[in-house]
Structure 1
């Protein structure tokens, strides 16, 4: 069921007022590599003082043992989410050992020639812990470990049910009016997702922050990047190489046909991928010569989370549920915006300007018409994304939309202009100027491309003598912010207790020996 075409060009209906957005929640996930003092990736274990990466609610690891992930709970305002993220950074900084630092860029710090020195994240000896490490081993076997050292920011956002109730009450389509609130909410969130995919080039242009990479990242790979200076590769007008073909890409997934036109179709596509063998992965084998497993299975996706996407529909899983089961049982609860690079100029990887822009954009995507995203349009969207990733700041960069090509600046201005009433609505709801200020800042980047994060990074990378010089300089700058950040005694106590409880929870999982790992894996396979 596609969203009905609106008869009015006005995106913000007259009856929508700021009370309808009260109750929005946002949470942030930020990834960052632990870097040794010589600039290379850390080989050390996850610090024991930070608790168990398997069971800690806020401090965990992603692909590698050195790739930390910080997770805030959902918060009622941008400032509270950013403050919580700053608290986590201060806690982590205090517990880092051997003069390690948090690498502040999306593209990784120095990696040596051997992939095996990128240690897989370790989660202990429980079946679920070993399963998580095996999944990562499978990713390495399939795509190489280097690709998995990239960091990003995920922005999670939900709108209150009373907004969806009001939107549904004003629908003119009887089939949409007849849906349960859960199904209608999922329908609207999928509309948001389709529009966000269409507008991802806007995100890449305005907050993209990966225009260059350390040469070590490209070891053993063919590429079209140019030398910026010794040890650093770039493209002159690139914005977000992390989002291009050197980032998270999976050729097998191209053939999946997973679409975002409705929840059931999305879940069917995902389930098919998790259950369909893929010849290239079958040839890798399931186990090594010694009989040890090297990947969970030989399917297009080992598990659902292997599906790389710019935005995901999400629902909080209950005990024993997969992400798909949670979505099927309770519909979409929030969206995860994943196309956001780490901002190296912010100690916590994101600032209120980017957060305000993303929330105004999400509301814009929710309220706008959102016809089905079919293959022909998807192809154009991907071409637009590639254009912005590789040459978004070029004087003649253009975006294709509705059968026409537009200069990127004109396209950006049009969409930011249309978002202004939504920013004003959000400002009114939160008694702030944050959202309008965010759009003003983004408009300045459109008007003067040298103000974009990607342009600033190239200039500063040259000034600091390369990727390592720039990253190291910013990492040292951020140390001061972590050390000066004040946490209440109550918050320190909370994080100390969370670390202890997480270690106990891991230990408890490891004491369950009712099933061997071989049986556990065989059951999953």
Structure 2
């Protein structure tokens, strides 16, 4: 498709658009968003109240649930045919949340957490009722807490889910010489989606520089942890040129998993890597114990991963799992349905955590990664990419910063500029299909940030933190603005009624699960041990 030198995407070709691809092949793209966000008390500390009952059951509601903590909301849109419809649904979910919050509670707008007490146990685990599947979800969170500390689990982010239509993959396959058409459409899609994933990993430094918005933290997050952050003042630690501390070794990472060597070169290899991690005990986790002194389970098992979701990766291949089906079994059974981009910080200046321009940029990037040649990603290159990520999350706005490529060190800004310019024709193609110029504007905005570090979100966050005096002051001021903005958006009576029915239905579904459970929970979890 394009010239590739030493396993890296080559941005020097004039256009990545192949002859078989037309804008109509992009019409059946679907996108969805999963957005996390902490509930915060009026005094700035993490909310201790339970998840609002009027929002429905966290276990069975399709759109509103919790992530790690009872206080960490997760809002999930259904797959939508346009960016505008996706962001509109995300806004509706925010309206529902704000209608339900206790007096004075706010949604914290930053990825790094609001004020936390010095006691980890003041971070309440999410509770999902008395069914075995609900109790397993809480037990998984208990395991995360004893393995990595509860503080790490209060970090919030945004996942962008994206799929391309079968018509695109069919046209692509039909354009190839016959010997290359041998795979089924499902196998062909698996190959192309995994190529996208490998290239996204190669491009993750670009994503972290452009969307990173967590260069500073409240001191309470660092309680009991070694770090090399600088003190801005008594109430904020930071790194002057950082982009995304959330994605640094200080944030949502796991050194145990660094040794896993889970690869994305073909689907059986990826699934086998996950399976091995899920079935391999780790002595450090065995020492923590499986049960407490009373015999109550405190982690699902002592394996490297309790379940698939514990694997931290900036991007994942996904298939919609059926009831009680594991993610890896869904992938094995039906192949890759979509990809989940996980390396995106919350945009603290957006009342829903993401702007149109960021969403459009991620879609152009996905198309770029899909169409570019994507050689196998092997451990040596993976190590190089991991080092680049560390440089960019900690010092991404440093003038003259370089990153490693197989050809040697290159200036980050020049590397980003070349890739973004190579994306412009794809942005034009997307605009042709969807109308307007949102995609081209998005890439042009990102080009500006690549050239002018002060235009990045992370630079803006630091400047405003210094102006207002602390990370907390900035987060609180933005949270108040966002509440006002969200509450000005009202839902139509029909939409309001539809969500109310969904909430009621979710409670009935949870009760049915609880009534029909006959197996003892301890016996139930043995299948995971």
Same fold by TM-score, threshold 0.5 exceeded? yes
Listed as ranges, the matches of 1:161-200 within 5 Å are: 161-172=166-177, 174=179, 176-200=180-204
The answer to whether structure 1 residue 17 and structure 2 residue 22 are counterparts is yes
* Larger mean Cα displacement after TM superposition, 396-405 or 183-192: 396-405
Q: Which residue pairs with 1:521 in the alignment?
A: 525
Listed as ranges, the matches of 1:110-189 within 5 Å are: 110-172=115-177, 174=179, 176-189=180-193
Listed as ranges, the matches of 1:384-463 within 5 Å are: 384-463=388-467
* Larger mean Cα displacement after TM superposition, 9-18 or 139-148: 9-18
Q: Is the 8 A contact 2:112 2:217 kept in 1?
A: yes
* Larger mean Cα displacement after TM superposition, 403-412 or 270-279: 403-412
* Larger mean Cα displacement after TM superposition, 364-373 or 458-467: 458-467
Deviation at 1:171, TM superposition (A): 2.6
Listed as ranges, the matches of 1:62-461 within 5 Å are: 62-172=67-177, 174=179, 176-461=180-465
Q: Distance in 2 between matches of 1:187 and 1:73?
A: 25
Q: Is the 8 A contact 2:60 2:507 kept in 1?
A: yes
Q: Is the 8 A contact 1:107 1:151 kept in 2?
A: yes
1:287-311 deviation per Cα after TM superposition (whole angstroms, max 9, x unaligned): 1111111100000000011101000
Q: Is the 8 A contact 1:3 1:371 kept in 2?
A: no
Q: Distance in 2 between matches of 1:513 and 1:356?
A: 44
Q: Distance in 2 between matches of 1:411 and 1:102?
A: 36
1:65-110 deviation per Cα after TM superposition (whole angstroms, max 9, x unaligned): 0000000000000000000000000011011013110000000000
Q: Distance in 2 between matches of 1:32 and 1:278?
A: 31
3-state SS of the aligned residue for 1:233? Answer: strand
Q: Is the 8 A contact 2:2 2:16 kept in 1?
A: no
* Larger mean Cα displacement after TM superposition, 245-254 or 16-25: 245-254
The RMSD of aligned alpha carbons is 1.5
1:422-481 deviation per Cα after TM superposition (whole angstroms, max 9, x unaligned): 000000010120000001111111222111000000010111110110000000010111
Listed as ranges, the matches of 1:48-63 within 5 Å are: 48-63=53-68
Q: Which residue pairs with 2:40 in the alignment?
A: 35
- In structure 2, the CA distance between the partners of 1:173 and 1:409, relative to structure 1 (3 Å rule), is farther
Normalising to structure 1: TM-score of the pair?
0.98
Deviation at 1:511, TM superposition (A): 1.0
Q: Is the 8 A contact 1:4 1:173 kept in 2?
A: no
Deviation at 1:342, TM superposition (A): 0.1
Q: Distance in 2 between matches of 1:488 and 1:401?
A: 52
Q: Is the 8 A contact 1:3 1:191 kept in 2?
A: no
Q: Is the 8 A contact 2:20 2:171 kept in 1?
A: no
Q: Which runs of 5 or more residues in structure 1 are unaligned?
A: none
* Larger mean Cα displacement after TM superposition, 160-169 or 396-405: 396-405
Q: Distance in 2 between matches of 1:344 and 1:521?
A: 39
1:191-211 deviation per Cα after TM superposition (whole angstroms, max 9, x unaligned): 000000010110111111001
Normalising to structure 2: TM-score of the pair?
0.97
3-state SS of the aligned residue for 2:284? Answer: helix
Q: Distance in 2 between matches of 1:4 and 1:281?
A: 46
- In structure 2, the CA distance between the partners of 1:213 and 1:378, relative to structure 1 (3 Å rule), is same
Q: Distance in 2 between matches of 1:523 and 1:112?
A: 36
3-state SS of the aligned residue for 1:396? Answer: coil
Deviation at 1:3, TM superposition (A): 11
Q: Is the 8 A contact 1:78 1:356 kept in 2?
A: yes
Which 4+ residue blocks in structure 1 deviate beyond 4 angstroms? 2-8
Q: Distance in 2 between matches of 1:374 and 1:302?
A: 25
* Larger mean Cα displacement after TM superposition, 187-196 or 249-258: 249-258
Q: Distance in 2 between matches of 1:345 and 1:172?
A: 49
Deviation at 1:524, TM superposition (A): 2.9
Paired residues, number: 523
Q: Distance in 1 between matches of 2:289 and 2:107?
A: 36
